[in-house]
Amino acid sequence: VLYQTHLVSLDAQQKLLSEKCSQFQKQAQNYQTQLNGKKQCAEDSSSEIPRLVCESDPGCEATQRDEFIIEKLKSAVSEIALSRNKLQDENQKLLQELKMYQRQCQAMEAGLSEVKSELQSRDDLLRIIEMERLHLHRELLRMGEVQTAQDNRKRVESSYSPSPKEAERKRKELFPMVSDQPNHEKELSKAVDLSNKKHSQCTSINKLEYENERLRSDLAKLHGNGKAAWPNQSSYGEAGAYVFQSQLKTETSGDRISQDCELNRSPTPLSPLPFQTKEMASPLVGDNEVLALSPPDISFRASLAAQHFLMEEERRAKELEKLLNTHIDELQRHTEFTLNKYTKLKQSRHI
């Protein structure tokens, strides 16, 4: 803008000088015509010079004065022409500089447009990356919700009713894979049998607890009535025999389960509660032996065995839950590592 204003001012000065120059040229031409006319008159009147010698002195002075004025005008015209040439040269230089600056501005505008297009493409790329990140985040949240729901469902199922499939899954998580296929199948069948035996043992323990409660209620009734002996020893003998047989079954099943657990390398083998076989003879031998084996003693031992078994099962369930939690944490860490690696790879590609 500064150069343009300067250029406009120079153009105005050039026009003014050209007008002055033309004016001076016109004046010089007028003086020249006058001078030529005077010279012509002088040549024509050369014959009359002797006569007009006395009269020509003032005319000569006027002619010399006119010539001096003409010389001054010529010098002024030459100076004006030189200044005009200088102004034209400066004008040409300014025009060249203006063209150069215009080319630079055009180049800068082209570079600016390229930078704008590149920024627009980067913004689009960042928008696409942000959309992909949000999509992956939603997928990760959905997978986490599904995983937590599955884990909760599996925990509830394992806490209430252990199944052969759950036993197989536990075995696969707790024990490493064996390269030998027959041994693998044997261990699988043993694990299934073990889970079935545990289930049957749970049912037998529930039955024993029910009998224990029933016998305790009968005993409380007898103590409330103030009777020292049982009213019906035959029914008591049948109940004691049933409890004793159930306890023996529990003991044998506990021994078998503990053996199976040792074969399967279980970290917490179930140790059955030892019973005194001398004191616990058959209740059908005689009334004295039946009285020696009182029902509270039998129910107490059965409840101890049941409590021991339930404590072992609860401890194993906690260990399994801890193992599953560690496995879920490892899966989550692996997923986060994969997502971070994927995002870094995409960023490096875009860069």
DSSP track, 251-295: HHHHHHHHHHHHHTT-SSPPPPPP--TTT---TTS-HHHHHHS-H
Output the six-digit token pair for 180.
């030998």
**Does residue 122 register a pLDDT over 70?**
yes
Residue 221 falls within a domain, yes or no? yes
Instruction: Give the per-residue pLDDT at 346.
Output: 73
260 within domain boundaries:
yes
Q: What is the pLDDT of residue 257?
A: 43
Whether 322 is in a domain gets the answer yes
Task: Check whether residue 110 and residue 204 sit in a common domain.
Answer: no
pLDDT given at position 131: 92
Residues 81 and 16 in one domain: yes
- For the cut 60, the answer to whether the pLDDT of residue 48 exceeds it is no
If one compares 169 and 48, the residue with the highest pLDDT of the two is 169
For residues 250-267, average pLDDT: 44
Is 206 found in the same domain as 300? yes
Q: Which domain covers residue 268, as residue numbers? A: 161-350
Residue 217 lies in a domain: yes
What are the Cα distances from residue 294, in Å, to 163, 226, 229, 244, 254?
37, 17, 11, 11, 24
* 118 and 171 share one domain: no
Six token digits for residue 281: 């003879």
Asked whether the beta carbons of 155 and 328 are under 8 A apart, the reply is no
154 domain residue, yes or no: no
One domain for residues 102 and 216: no
Q: What is the DSSP string of 99-134?
A: HHHHHHHHHHHHHHHHHHHHHHHHHHHHHHHHHHHH
- Asked whether residue 282 is assigned to any structural domain, the reply reads yes
Confidence of residue 134 (pLDDT cuts 50, 70, 90): very high
Domain shared by 232 and 321, yes or no: yes
Mean pLDDT of 212-235: 59
Residue appearing with tokens 């002996």: 229
Nearest 5°: CA angle at 188, between 186 and 191? 110
Kindly state whether residues 184 and 108 are assigned to the same domain: no
Task: Decide if pLDDT at 269 tops 50.
Answer: no
User: Per the domain annotation, does 336 fall within a domain?
Assistant: yes
Question: Residue 333: its pLDDT value, please?
Answer: 84
The pTM is what? 0.27
Most confident of 162-171, 233-242, 259-268, 298-307: 298-307
Checking if the pLDDT of 302 tops 60, the result is yes
69 exposure class (CB count in 10 Å sphere: 0-12, 13-18, 19+): middle
Both 253 and 113 in a single domain? no
Q: Residue 224 above 60 pLDDT?
A: yes
106 and 172 share a domain? no
pLDDT in tens, 324-333: 788 778 877 8
- Residue 292's pLDDT band (boundaries 50, 70, 90)? very low
Q: For residue 290, is pLDDT > 50?
A: no
Does position 275 have pLDDT exceeding 50, yes or no?
Answer: no
When mean pLDDT is compared across 10-19, 45-54, 252-261, 306-315, the lowest value belongs to: 252-261
Q: DSSP code of 176?
A: P
Whether residues 208 and 331 share a domain: the answer is yes
Q: Are residues 118 and 214 in the same domain?
A: no
Average pLDDT, the chain: 68
For residues 117 and 205, membership in a common domain is answered with: no
Q: Let me know if residue 180 belongs to a domain.
A: yes
Question: Looking at the predicted structure, is the pLDDT value of residue 80 above 50?
Answer: yes
Cβ-contact 255, 279 below 8 angstroms? no
| Domain count within the chain | 2
